[in-house]
Amino acid sequence: MVHLYEIFLELNDIEHRTTRGATPRTNGFVEKFNRRILDEFFRTAFRKKLYESVDVLQADLNEWLKHYNTERPHRGYRNQGRRPIETFEVGKIRRNEMSKEAA
């Protein structure tokens, strides 16, 4: 049985990867993001606002994610001061160049 997310990944040319459980070395980026979203968004948001619904919380989270991915520079070794969207675009260009060379 094919799940809808698998169809979405296929249609958007997204590779689905998994990591071994209980290995922070292989899952460090996710662990760092989880900590960052907790510290920078959830703890601050719940101190400042009483959310009446999940939809309102989701709207605020979407705004924070937009800021996180498109406006906020990241210092990690992969991003090297770029914003995540810039890193993504660089990777996309490199992948396209590699596929052209392989063809």
Give pLDDT tens digits for 39-79: 999 999 999 999 999 999 999 999 999 999 888 887 777 77
pLDDT of residue 14: 93
DSSP 1-42: ---HHHHHHHHTT-------TT-TTTSHHHHHHHHHHIIIII
pLDDT band at 11 (very low <50, low <70, confident <90, very high): very high
Q: In the predicted model, is pLDDT for residue 6 greater than 90?
A: yes
Model confidence, pTM:
0.64
Q: In the predicted model, is pLDDT for residue 25 greater than 80?
A: no
Domain segments of the chain: what residues?
51-103
